[in-house]
Amino acid sequence: MFGRDTASKSLGIELLDAGNGQATVQMTVTGDMVNGHAMTHGGYVFILADTAFACACNSHGPVTVAAGADISFLRATRAGDVLIAYAKERATSGRSGIYDVTVTCDGDIVAEFRGRSRTVGAEGAS
């Protein structure tokens, strides 16, 4: 799935690991990703967390999409910072799942994200 994710790749997001309901991705914050306060725009932090979430919930095979997500921002980051997002499956029931994603920078927690997934198709479907 990540191989076809042009949105994430266009932001420089790299997939470090995925499988068994987990995934790790990273992104270097560029000057184009900061807001008027010279801090990373929250939307980019959300995209990174959402990419980790997508890779984790699709690691089982069937096509799975977001049914909803929430994020809490804890610490600001800036251009040049490397953000790492680690997603982990918390629970699944039928076609629904819950995933937690922690975004870090230099070992400090930047944001916590909770995603709710829904399986919508067979393995390998587009």
Reported as a single tens digit per residue, the pLDDT across 74-89 is: 999 999 999 999 999 9
- For 8, the 3-state DSSP assignment is helix
Q: What pTM value is reported for the model? A: 0.94
Of the candidates 62, 81, 79, 83, the one whose C-alpha atom is nearest the C-alpha of residue 71 is 83
What are the structure tokens assigned to 109, written together? 């927690």
- For 10, the 3-state DSSP assignment is helix
pLDDT given for residue 123 in this prediction: 64
Residue with tokens 């994430």: 8
- CB neighbour class for 31 (10 Å; exposed up to 12, middle 13-18, buried from 19): exposed
Residue 12 CB-half CA count within 13 A: 14
CB 89 within 8 A of CB 57: yes
The one-letter code for the residue type at 40 is T
pLDDT given for residue 124 in this prediction: 55
pLDDT given for residue 121 in this prediction: 81
| pLDDT under 50: residue ranges of the chain | 126
User: Beta strands of 1-126 (E only): which ranges?
Assistant: 14-19, 22-28, 62-73, 82-93, 96-105, 108-123
